């Protein structure tokens, strides 16, 4: 059972946090992962991110219907992701102190109403409000669902994070396909149909909350000593800054493809909107596969090495992409998606291991940073595209994975943390 423990903090005073004691962690590891829970939380992540990705996928429709420029398109992404970015660390900090087993189902309700509002929106302002509601749902969903994935991991933290990330990444990849098959032919009102997905997610998350509730039953606290090989406070601070920088390089590049790849393909190769959405699906599906394999590789070889490979390894392919033809671009985006997305589980678990006593907050910060970078980056890149061109944006973003060189500054973690 889950047990609030007082742990020695690397950055501040001891705090009361819901975490497994060593004895219970060992028992959990012996029992192995709780696969039903992992599958349930991953499937919920799939449903959540499928609905989120619809926003970016219907940009061409919204652009035509409301005569929006690229900067306004970027602001829609910012409205959604800025809400999620700001609130995720707050939600994580609150649930560190008092976990809320049914908050996930309640948060999904915001997504439900956001989709209904987006389907009926008749002005740019209402679109921004609808996007913000979907972002609010994500802010509630991610920190606590990441904690549930860890509780159900059986000690295989990278694997559990990858299973969790796989659902989200695959859901993100499905958005363009569903938009091409449903929203493009039937128009903006058809977005309301996807509220049924949100309702299904609410039911699943409520059932997971029933499993989660006894895991967080309050019990007498115990003090856990910090591992003697754990990095000191100064190295923890440096490592967290480096991890944020690495996530910045990865997420900003992914955001450039997710938000504007459709327009890039239409502008450069003259493909149809539906064809461009399918090309975007190819990239996002590769992104999902990479996120799945990154976690187990981190468990096996060490997270630092996976981070090195995944971000810096994508650089040759991103540099070639702006000069490639249509078919070669599709092939390159597969390699880019597979390689660069494998960093995500390792970055998040690495950060969690640096500050295990602040699990919810650190998960919220890193998920929030990912959303915030995506939103702010989309807005900035949209403004840049308006003043230059989409092609120029992709030439510029091609150098972002070079920030992966900063991985050399990451500390060596205790062996049992892997």
pLDDT in tens, 382-401: 888 888 888 888 888 899 88
* Tokens (6 digits) for 96: 């560190």
Q: 18 in the Ramachandran plot: left (φ > 0), alpha (ψ -120 to 50) or beta?
A: beta
pLDDT tens column, 148-188: 888 888 877 888 888 887 888 778 778 777 877 888 788 78
Q: Are strands 15-19 and 223-224 parallel, antiparallel or unpaired?
A: unpaired
- Tell me the pLDDT band of 7, cut-offs 50, 70 and 90: very low
- Tell me the pLDDT band of 223, cut-offs 50, 70 and 90: very low
Longest CA–CA span in the chain (Å) reads: 65
Which of 147 and 202 is assigned the larger pLDDT?
Answer: 202
Rounded to an integer, the average pLDDT of 211-237 is 65
What confidence score (pLDDT) does residue 195 get? 84
SS3 call for 17: strand
Do residues 130 and 12 touch, judged by C-beta distance below 8 A? no
What confidence score (pLDDT) does residue 156 get? 79
What confidence score (pLDDT) does residue 321 get? 92
CATH superfamily, region 3-417: MFS general substrate transporter like domains (1.20.1250.20)
**Partner residues linked to 18 by β-bridges:** 4
Residue among 339, 340, 353, 241 nearest 303 (CA): 353
pLDDT tens column, 9-27: 444 433 334 444 444 444 4
Mean residue pLDDT of the chain comes to 79
pLDDT tens column, 323-370: 999 999 999 999 999 998 888 888 888 887 888 777 667 777 777 766
CA distance 82 to 369: 9
What confidence score (pLDDT) does residue 332 get? 95
Rounded to an integer, the average pLDDT of 87-110 is 80
What confidence score (pLDDT) does residue 316 get? 93
Range from 93-107, 208-222, 263-277, 395-409 carrying the lowest mean pLDDT: 208-222
pLDDT at 3 > cutoff 50: no
């Amino acid at each position: 059972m889950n047990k609030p423990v007082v742990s020695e903090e690397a950055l501040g005073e001891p705090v009361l946090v819901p975490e497994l004691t060593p004895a219970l962690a060992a028992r959990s590891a012996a029992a192995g992962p709780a696969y039903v829970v992992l599958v349930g939380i991953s499937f919920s992540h799939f449903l959540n991110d499928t609905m989120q990705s619809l926003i970016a996928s219907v940009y061409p429709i919204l652009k035509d219907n409301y005569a929006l420029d690229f900067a306004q398109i970027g602001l829609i992404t910012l409205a959604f992701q800025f809400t999620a970015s700001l609130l995720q660390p707050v939600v994580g900090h609150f649930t560190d102190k008092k976990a809320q087993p049914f908050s996930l189902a309640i948060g999904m309700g915001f997504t439900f109403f956001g989709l209904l509002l987006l389907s009926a929106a008749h002005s740019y302002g209402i679109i921004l409000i609808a996007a913000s509601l979907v972002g609010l749902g994500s802010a509630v969903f991610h920190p606590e669902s990441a904690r549930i994935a860890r509780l159900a991991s059986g000690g295989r933290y990278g694997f559990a994070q990858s299973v969790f990330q796989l659902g989200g990444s695959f859901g993100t990849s499905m958005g363009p396909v569903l938009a091409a098959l449903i929203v493009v032919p039937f128009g903006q009102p058809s977005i309301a149909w996807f509220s049924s997905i949100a309702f299904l997610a609410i039911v699943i998350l409520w059932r997971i909350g029933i499993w989660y509730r006894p895991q967080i039953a309050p019990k007498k606290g115990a003090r856990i000593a910090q591992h003697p090989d754990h990095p000191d406070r100064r190295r923890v601070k440096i490592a967290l800054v480096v991890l944020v920088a690495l996530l910045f390089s990865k997420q900003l590049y992914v955001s450039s493809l997710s938000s504007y790849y459709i327009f890039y393909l239409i502008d450069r190769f003259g493909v149809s909107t539906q064809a461009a959405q399918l090309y975007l699906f190819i990239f996002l599906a590769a992104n999902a596969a990479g996120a799945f394999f990154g976690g187990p590789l981190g468990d096996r070889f060490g997270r630092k090495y996976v981070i090195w490979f995944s971000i810096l390894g994508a650089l040759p392919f991103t540099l070639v992409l702006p000069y490639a033809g249509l078919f070669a671009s599709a092939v390159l985006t597969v390699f880019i998606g597979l390689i660069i997305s494998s960093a995500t589980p390792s970055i998040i678990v690495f950060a969690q291991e640096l500050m295990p006593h602040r699990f919810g907050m650190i998960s919220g910060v890193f998920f929030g940073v990912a959303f915030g970078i995506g939103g702010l980056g989309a807005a900035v890149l949209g403004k840049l595209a308006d003043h230059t061109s989409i092609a120029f944006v992709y030439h510029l973003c091609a150098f972002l994975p070079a920030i992966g060189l900063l991985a050399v500054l990451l500390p060596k973690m205790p062996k049992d943390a892997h």
